């Protein structure tokens, strides 16, 4: 599929600063949720650009460097595990995306948002936007944002959480509810990096 189809439609409608937005880390039991917003040059050639989930870690890292070097503007933001516990993950996702959009050095005319949700019970996307279901596999701008968010979160989990709490082996499971992660929780219990509201999944797993 041509990843520039949705961008062309908006450029033809008069948009100039078109921004892709996506988040990473909504599902894990631990760590922050990250979001990224990126404005790419029109139809820039980024070989292999795709939904971050469909790429190898090595390819994501390479594209991260290419995207950040070439982007007209980009911003990466996060919402902490403590904030997630305070507001719930849907509101946290919206807040992370708002923070990423707000951090752009170029105000966007329109944001293409991955997914079908643009608000929670308390937080809504405030910038002009369109939601695109499966957008990380349909839009170059959203795909780029998905890579920036995913790589940034993986780096944080590996470089910070794994070093602070090595017994949990965060670098291996990235905080997701894998068999290994549950085994570490069974052995050590939760640590401050865990989302307390998500630990019911762990408790349910034990019963």
Binding residues: 22-23, 114
Spatial distance between the Cα atoms of 29 and 193, rounded to a whole number of angstroms? 9
Q: What is the CA radius of gyration of the chain?
A: 17
CB 36 within 8 A of CB 28: no
State the Cα–Cα distance between residues 91 and 110, nearest whole angstrom: 21
What count of other Cβ atoms lies within 10 Å of the Cβ of residue 105?
Answer: 9
Known binding-site residue numbers for a divalent metal cation: 22-23, 114
Q: In a 3-state reduction of DSSP, which class is residue 18? A: strand
CB 111 within 8 A of CB 101: yes
């Amino acid at each position: 599929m041509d990843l520039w189809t949705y961008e062309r439609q908006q450029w033809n409608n008069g948009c100039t600063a078109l921004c892709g937005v996506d988040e990473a880390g909504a599902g894990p039991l631990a760590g922050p949720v990250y979001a990224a917003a990126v404005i790419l040059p029109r139809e820039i050639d980024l070989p292999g650009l795709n939904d971050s989930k469909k790429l190898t870690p090595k390819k994501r890292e390479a594209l991260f460097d290419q995207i950040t070097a070439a982007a007209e503007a980009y911003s990466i933001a996060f919402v902490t595990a403590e904030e997630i516990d305070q507001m719930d993950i849907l509101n946290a996702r919206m807040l992370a995306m708002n923070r990423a959009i707000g951090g752009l050095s170029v105000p966007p005319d329109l944001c293409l948002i991955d997914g079908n949700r643009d608000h929670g019970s308390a937080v809504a996307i405030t910038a002009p936007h369109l939601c695109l279901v499966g957008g990380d596999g349909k839009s170059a701008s959203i795909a780029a944002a998905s890579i920036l968010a995913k790589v940034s979160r993986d780096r944080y989990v590996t470089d910070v959480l794994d070093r602070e709490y090595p017994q949990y082996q965060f670098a291996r499971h990235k905080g997701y509810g894998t068999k290994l992660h549950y085994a570490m929780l069974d052995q050590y219990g939760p640590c401050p990096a865990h989302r307390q509201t998500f630990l019911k999944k762990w408790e349910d797993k034990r019963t």
